[in-house]
Amino acid sequence: MEHKKISKFYYRITQAASFVVSKFIFKRKFLRNEIKGKEGPFAVIANHQAALDFVNLIGATGKPMRFVISNSFYQTLPVGWVMDKIGVIPKQQFQTTLKDIKRMKQVIEDKGILVIYPAGLMCEDGLSTPIPEATYKFLQWIKADIYVAKTVGTYFSMPKWGKGMRRGRTFLDIYKLFTKEELAEADIAEIKAKADEALLFDAYREQDELKIKFRNNDNIEGLENVLYSCPHCKSEFTVDVKDKSTLCCSACGYAETADEYGMLHNTGGVGEEIRYVSDWSTLMQQELEEKVVSGEITEVTEELEVCTIDAKTHKFIPRGEGNVRVTDKHIYFTATVDGEPVELELPTACFPSVPFSPGKYVELQHGDEIYRCMLKDGRRTTRLVNLIKIFHKLNIHTHDGTECGCHAHV
């Protein structure tokens, strides 16, 4: 399987544009860069804190690298043809076909440089998405040296729940994680342990240690779409942002105010202080999981508007309406799209999460189709995704990949 040849001209232009953003917006600083000037074949695995993490990485070696990116992101770019010129490999998130695997393997066989983001999603709460075990099997299978690119700080430069970009110092640490010989001799548990230690992160604990000031960092408008449940009275959808920097529960008065570093401080006079957004989110998910395990919650249904990508404008446009029902075993999607009925039945064991934007939409991807589901009540988006994560966690040991048609979630 041959790849399209990378255009050095367009790759250099992309590198130049990325350099400007990484220097003046992300203010990137290399801690180590062990791939500088290095020829392939090798693979780079990177953590994923923000949508434009690749900007900090694309010029790290000076050699062309093939990035594996979200097909949704790829198709909505008005300059998708440029992505073709620089050799990106688009694929559906959390679904990897045999064709995808062969394309990625071919990069190594062609003595190229492959870059993947194993978590698949940028984080919404400062915590990395768990990495599927099949990813580690893939790394062993491609028989190449593996480098890790660990990014720190981009979560605060470009929070998933916020708007715009916030200037501030970010760091990039690139170093060799495995030689191909080490990979060949290691078992999957060893590979997982070492890779997880390198890639998994808590952006708030990193920030509390580094104390980096980001522009407008105390503006937390939009965070209420992530932290939808009050940690004090446990009420759902009663948390709102007041005066741009304070999360306040209308049911009990619990309030937390963000400082210039993004840390939270109890200012409501009730309840205990939760300093990190990541801790608040973890507590919220634990409480939701307890309701699932106890049988209090067995399924949830949300009404939605369905959007698909317009081939001419490269934008998602409304195509119909429907609903999504999530149970312990399946995600059921029923809708009318362009006047035609669409029904999907996706096993929760196949999806550690789904692409989403807090307060706005979730994306259901099946085969080549991408359905962007705009929930009628956008505040319920993160709760729906959290339930999918919980049901996946409870069902993952039954998953062999055949039911959803995937071949390892890389």
Residue 271, C-beta contacts closer than 8 angstroms, at least 6 positions apart: 231, 232, 252, 254
Residue 288 Cα to chain centre, angstroms: 21
* Residue range 16-50, pLDDT digits in tens: 999 999 999 999 999 999 999 999 999 999 999 99
Q: Using pLDDT thresholds of 50, 70 and 90, give the confidence band for residue 397.
A: low
Calpha distance 328→45 (Å, rounded): 31
Render the burial of 323-347: b for 16+ CB within 10 Å, e for the rest: bbebeebbbbbebebeeeebebebb
The tokens for 316 are: 């998602």
Q: At what angle do helices 188-199 and 133-141 cross, to 10 degrees?
A: 110
Delineate the domains of the chain, giving CATH numbers in brackets: 8-210 (3.40.1130.10), 223-294 (no CATH), 299-398 (2.30.29.30)
DSSP H helical ranges for 25-93: 53-57, 71-75, 80-85
Calpha distance 96→248 (Å, rounded): 41
If you average pLDDT over residues 9-16, what whole number do you get?
A: 92
* Residue range 364-387, pLDDT digits in tens: 988 888 999 999 999 999 999 999
Percent above pLDDT 90 for the chain: 77
Percent above pLDDT 70 for the chain: 96
Amino acid at 321: E
Q: Among 74-83, 138-147, 294-303, 345-354, which stretch is predicted with the lowest mean pLDDT?
A: 74-83
Average pLDDT along the chain: 91
Dihedral class, residue 156 (left if φ above 0, else alpha if ψ from -120 to 50, else beta): alpha
If you average pLDDT over residues 384-409, what whole number do you get?
A: 70
Amino acid at 280: W
Beta strand 369-375 with 299-309 is: antiparallel
